[in-house]
A and B are shown apart, each in its own frame.
Chain A
Amino acid sequence: MNLRFNKRDLSALWRHTSGALALGTLLWSSSCSSLDRWTAADKIPVAPHIAERAKAGQSATEVQRQRLLAELSQVEEQAATQTNDPFARAEATRTQVAKVSQKQQLVSAERVAFADSPRVDASTALAAANDQAFAAWNETRQPVQDSNLLQVSAEQAAGGVFVNSDEGTAFCPPASPPQFCPPQEVVCPTCPPFAWAAPEAPDFSADEYICDGGDKNLPVHYDGNVRQGLDVEDTVVEYMDSRGEMHVRPSTKACVYSPRFGSVRSITQPNERYHVMRATGAHDSQGAGGLAHRMGHDEQVQRDEFKDVRSRSRASGVDQKTVDAVVSRDLKAENHAKVLNVYESFAFFREGVFDRVDSAVMSDGIGAALAWSSGQPPIVQGHFRSGYAVQGRVYAQEEVGVESRGLPADVQISKVADKKTALSGEEVTFTIRLDNLGDENVLDFRLIDHLSPRLQYVDGTVDSNLPGKLDVENDGAGGQVLTFQFTGELAGRSGGWVSFTCVVR
């Protein structure tokens, strides 16, 4: 092998080797500097117990890993020994794994400068526990009976079971629809242990209840001697206090769940031609040639707001704008707007009364009226108010009466029903409680109940500890109005009750 180099080759070799040497020097220096940084990082203080074990020969990473694995195995052993129930075991495992995960997070906060720390993946363990629970649940499912007979029980066909719990007997459906699963308080073997349950919202709909009581819509009031505003379902008490004033108070509302249904039906035969009937309906033809549309064309609108000439003053000159061919009607001449001066008294114009001290103003007014009416004598009406005063003396010994320092009569009534739910045909007993919260007696009082159309009073069922009588009258629409007319007075700080029974229609 004969190597021959000329000067040109040596020059090229030097350029390459020098570049390589420079690159190597740069890499070496940078690696040294990075080592310096790692060395400096090792000097960051670590947790005392990790540092202590590290001094004993164990790295902190190994200490953490061993501790976590030991805790996890301990948890699994405890779960396995505590119960043989796969669901309980899975649940216990999940709980403990969650605790271990929490501890792991605390430990990870202590981990310093050990980037290669092996971690026990808590999420993986949790997923494995979930899979284990689902597998156990699938093993317990009842297979659906393969039968074409109609006489297959619902329980068998559905693959569900009935479970007795503290809340009663609950039905556990097959796997697929979790919305049919009972609450999680009921241990349901056919429901997945993680059955999703929708958050319960307030489950109420007013149109499913029969309500009686209160004062709906327009409040009960009196137009003269005629009572107004007693709507359906209203229950009020009328009473007179010791001063002779009448009062009306509504009761509370008692509602019973009792939905009633109806149906609308149409039967379509194969030869129905309702589409053609609709296409030639009268509504369409009226809409095309409506009367209102023609009236719009015939309308004549006289716009009085336009003025004949409008002028503006601008910096560039005077700009005038004249509206041509506009009928202008001055309505101002027909309306007299009088500007009252500040020295004028409004009393005469408002009340037709003026004082003698305002005679000068009166004269001015008459003069102005004469000038405005072009000589026609105006008619001025008024009367003089003299300046005398009424004097009287009140003597204490002449006052006759009884001073009452107590609270005035205040009757409150509340109404309740003995059932929460009722079907059509069932009876519901309502009880109305009256209480006079004031100190004075109630002289005359009666209770009025406009029953719901779904309620019918059962004759002879009224009962009360207050003397009185009951009047039942028809409201004209098929409903009933019960009036309990009490006799006697209702003393202050006392009360009573009335009960009656209705049948749900």
Chain B
Amino acid sequence: MKSVGISIWKLWGLAVVLAASSFLHNSAMAQVPGRYFPLDHRQPAGVAARWSSLVQPGEFGRPQPIQVALEGGGHVSFYQGNPHNPVAMAAPATATMSVGHVYRIRISDMPQYPGVELFPSIEVVDRLHPPAGSQQQFPVPIEITTEEIEAALHDGMVTKVIYLEQPDFAMPLQSNGSTPIENLPVADNLMAAADHRGRPLAILKLGGRIPDPNSPNDEFYSRSPISFVEVQSPAGQGSGLAE
């Protein structure tokens, strides 16, 4: 029995060593000069939001309006835990999501892609702090471009981290109304890149995965709290409900 006990301790020690070596290896992969980022965009959906909630416990559950826009137009449907009763809106569509949660949406009725439905996920990592009463005027914009839809239809996985631009590092260029996109190699850590440029707010993951229509799985849809407020867009582009 004594020899068995020693062997168990040896196994434990070996496991610790392996875990430490694996951690060091992963940390070295996720490390950029000067800072350490334990998270990257390849983590499962919800990990970054959960870590953010642990770091900032007071931010968990805080509402944050999210505006989903489609480059070619279409409809955006928000789910609330099951495939029934989705809330469909004409893009750009705004919904109030909560920090620390993952949401499943559906994009459909795209004129350029008739009959195509995609189900991207949105992970809310952080939020904005606008003055009181103007929360709905400043949603976090998430734009799904035609290129991203094409990539998803060709079995590609699009991962996009939307960040708040650091004012000191802002490019002195006039904004054209859309969020600039910077393509990075797949080996790069998007979370680290976004943190270097500003403050990560949301993660969009778009792939070709669709739920099985014959046996709908409720786990596919988010149960995260969501609410909707009808907002009058200043540009007149509308964010109203679908008629």
A157 with B159: CB separation less than 8 A: no
A-B contact count (CB 8 A): 210
A421 with B225: CB separation less than 8 A: no
Number of interface residues of B (CB under 8 A): 80
Q: Which of A19-27, A254-262, A310-318 contacts B (4 or more CB under 8 A)?
A: A254-262
Closest to A480 in B: B172
B187 with A208: CB separation less than 8 A: no
A269 with B155: CB separation less than 8 A: yes
Known: A259-B128, A277-B187, A278-B29. A157 touches B182 (CB 8 A): no
Residues from 411 to 428 in A contacting B, C-beta threshold 8 Å: 420-421, 423-425
Cβ proximity bits B129-161 to A, threshold 8 Å, 1 near / 0 not = 111111001101101000010010011111111
A208 with B130: CB separation less than 8 A: yes
A263 with B88: CB separation less than 8 A: no
A63–B193 CA distance with the chains assembled, in angstroms: 76
Would you call A285 an interface residue if the criterion is a C-beta within 8 Å of the partner chain's C-beta atoms? no
> Which of B29, B41, B98 sits near A266, CB closer than 8 Å?
B41
Closest to B172 in A: A478
Closest to A180 in B: B227
A268 with B186: CB separation less than 8 A: yes
Would you call B190 an interface residue if the criterion is a C-beta within 8 Å of the partner chain's C-beta atoms? yes
Residues from 98 to 129 in A contacting B, C-beta threshold 8 Å: none
A198–B99 CA distance with the chains assembled, in angstroms: 15
> Which of A152, A198, A266, A423 sits near B85, CB closer than 8 Å?
A152
Which residues of A have CB within 8 Å of B5? none
A267 with B151: CB separation less than 8 A: yes
Please give the distance in Å from B242's CB to the nearest CB on chain A: 6
B188 with A266: CB separation less than 8 A: yes
* 14 more A-B residue pairs beyond the given contacts A148-B85, A264-B183, A505-B172, with a C-beta to C-beta distance below 8 A: A155-B228, A157-B80, A171-B227, A259-B164, A260-B164, A261-B179, A262-B163, A263-B162, A264-B161, A266-B186, A266-B188, A267-B151, A453-B170, A456-B172
Using a CB–CB distance below 8 Å, which chain B residues touch chain A?
28-29, 41, 58, 61-63, 75, 77, 80, 84-89, 96, 98, 128-134, 137-138, 140-141, 143, 148, 151, 154-168, 170-175, 177, 179-188, 190, 193-194, 197-199, 201, 225, 227-230, 234, 241-243
The 10 A-B residue pairs with the shortest CB-CB distance, nearest first, are A478-B172, A154-B228, A453-B172, A150-B88, A424-B175, A177-B225, A274-B187, A205-B129, A265-B160, A268-B157
CB pairs A–B below 8 angstroms (14 shown): A145-B85, A146-B84, A151-B242, A152-B85, A177-B61, A257-B134, A260-B165, A262-B180, A262-B197, A263-B181, A266-B190, A274-B185, A425-B175, A454-B167
